[in-house]
Structure formats: structure tokens, C-alpha cells
Amino acid sequence: MSVVMRTIQRRHPEIEIYEANTDKDHIHLLVSVAPRMALSEAVRILKCNSARMMLRKFPFLKKTYWGTEDGIWSVGYFVSTVGVNEETIRKYIELQGQDDSGQAKLELG
């Protein structure tokens, strides 16, 4: 797990990050959020803290994203709950960024 994700977990123990992987223009996370926290708040914390740490580590990003309304992360996000088949979601996240001829080879069931 990256330094960014470990730092977020240390500062916000109500957000537990199990898996993280990136693709060309997005990231997939498998997280557990305490029931007392709104999912939108968890996403805000993840985006704000990771953006702050990336800007600190990669100063050139300040020039790249200076003056943009959204900053590093886009406004939107997608959230889905994990039911019985958590292993399928974990495998999907693990395979992100690997060449699979454009088709996911997982059975969602």
C-alpha cells in the first residue's frame, strides 16, 4: 500500500483501505467506512488528503493544475457496496491497468 494510503488510514482510522490500484486515468479502492461516516465524507477525505500529498511530493503538479476548478481529482466518484462476492471485487481491482484486450475477464455474480 502506498505511503499516501497508509497516511490517510493513520489519520482517519474510520476509513480502512484494503485494496488500491490505478489505471491510466482513475483509481480503484476497496475500502471499509465506519457506519457513522457518510460515504461522501470518506471520498472527500481520500481525495483531499491524497491530492495534498501528491502536490507536496510532485511540485510540477501545481503548475499543471493551477487555476483549474477541480484540482487533481474530478468532482465525481462511483461507490458500490460489496455483498457476498467480495473476492470478485478484489480481483477486479488487482487487475486494473493490465492489458486484457479491453474486456474484463471476470464473472460478476
The domains located in the chain, with CATH, are: 3-94 (3.30.70.1290)
> Span 33-54, mean pLDDT?
89
The predicted pLDDT at position 4 comes to 64
Higher pLDDT: 42 or 105? It is: 42
Give me 18's grid cell.
Answer: 484494503
Q: What is the predicted pLDDT for the residue at 41? A: 93
Question: Using one digit for the tens of pLDDT, what is the confidence trace for 47-97?
Answer: 888 888 888 888 888 877 776 655 788 778 878 776 657 777 777 777 766
Q: What is the pLDDT of residues 6-18, one digit of tens each?
A: 777 788 889 988 8
Half-sphere exposure of 18 toward its Cβ, with a 13 Å CA cutoff?
12
Q: Which residues contact 105 (CB under 8 A, 6 or more apart)?
A: none
Answer yes or no: is pLDDT of 29 > 80. Answer: yes
How far, in whole angstroms, is CA 75 from its chain's centroid? 13
Q: Where are the alpha helices (DSSP H) in 1-109?
A: 3-11, 39-57, 60-65, 86-94
Catalytic residue among 18, 65, 77, 92: 92
Contact 47, 55 (CB under 8 A): no
Reduced to 3 states (helix: H, G, I; strand: E, B; else coil), residue 21 is strand
Is there a catalytic annotation at residue 92? yes
| 43 has a pLDDT exceeding 80 | yes
